Amino acid sequence: MKKEVKLLLATNIFPFIGLFIISLWIILGGNKNIALYLTLIFFFLFIFGFYYFYVRRRIFSDILNFPSVKILDTSVIIDGRIVDILKTNFIEGKIVIPRFVLKELQQLADSSESLKKNRGRYGLDNLSKIRKELKEQVIIVEKDFTNIHSVDSKLVKLAKILNGKIITNDYGLNKLAKIEGITVLNINELANALKPIYLPGEELQISILKEGKEVGQGVGYLEDGTMVVVENGRKYIGSTLRVVVTSVFQTAAGRIIFARVKEERRFG
């Protein structure tokens, strides 16, 4: 990485060094041929234009886009929701897949344990979808850190080198990255943020599935998985009814909606 940055800096000043040498040669040579002056200026502009629009924009495009780099970890690839999120184009910049993450997915896919094998194969399928959908936006980075054994620590190290952000839904990696000053895009936090907001007084139709922790409470769930705790809802277990939101409580795991029965009439 340091070599690439030094190379970028060196090539940035190349056109200006060329201009200085040409100007010095003209001045010291005392040549007053206007045609020669115009030819040299045109030649310099051509070289500068070629450098800027081809060399700098194409060869060093990845380096110039480092602030936009997003690094995917193993858990978020296996989760699968990242595939649909990337399709929406809300996440810009290069999508980086480290080779050591691919290796971890392959090890899971080759595992003798059925659950690990299924998770690994599902992750590889998701990765194929991402590469097919985004094409050149996805970059496989070969860089590895042989002196670091933890994949999470490798991801943090790579994010520091690339000045990138880590996309994950792993709690441990989330904490480690934030301690190290790395920006984390957490899929679970995104999902919670996108859940509909319900205010006190709004009505919901909910199926009561089980009893709550407190006496008389019934519990149901919205389609997005949000828990709804219904006061005096225990007697309606197995039924669907209208409830009125009384309060909303935010937890680390998500929102919990508290409600009361609007009317005694059942819908199912």
169, 76: one domain: yes
- Does residue 198 fall inside a structural domain? no
Q: Is the pLDDT of residue 208 over 50?
A: yes
Quote the number of domains for the chain.
3
In sequence order, the 6+-apart residues with CB closer than 8 A to the CB of 52 are 15
82, 95: one domain: yes
117, 146: one domain: yes
- Adjacent-strand bridge partners of 251: 254
pLDDT digits (tens, 9 = 90+) for 37-76: 667 667 767 766 666 666 555 554 554 444 468 999 999 9
174, 218: one domain: no
94, 173: one domain: yes
117, 169: one domain: yes
The enclosing domain of 155 has a CATH number of 3.40.50.1010
133, 32: one domain: no
* C-beta of residue 167 within 8 angstroms of C-beta of residue 185: yes
Q: Which of 192, 225, 245 is the last residue of a domain?
A: 192
Pick from 142, 150, 170: nearest CA to 76:
170
72, 188: one domain: yes
Task: State the pLDDT at residue 9.
Answer: 47
103, 174: one domain: yes
Task: Report the SS3 class of residue 193.
Answer: helix
User: Distance (Å, rounded) from C-alpha 147 to C-alpha 153?
Assistant: 11
User: Distance (Å, rounded) from C-alpha 17 to C-alpha 146?
Assistant: 40
Half-sphere exposure of 146 (CA within 13 A, CB side): 0
Q: In angstroms, what CA-CA distances link 139 with 15, 58, 72, 77, 90?
A: 30, 15, 11, 15, 18
Give the residue-averaged pLDDT of 163-174. Answer: 87
pTM of the model: 0.59
256, 187: one domain: no
Structural domain span for residue 170: 66-192
Q: Is the pLDDT of residue 188 over 70?
A: yes
Q: Which amino acid is at 31?
A: N
Q: Which of 64, 83, 99 is the last residue of a domain?
A: 64
Q: Where are the alpha helices (DSSP H) in the chain?
A: 2-29, 34-50, 61-64, 74-79, 81-87, 99-109, 114-134, 151-162, 171-179, 187-193
- Does residue 267 fall inside a structural domain? no
User: Distance (Å, rounded) from C-alpha 220 to C-alpha 170?
Assistant: 27
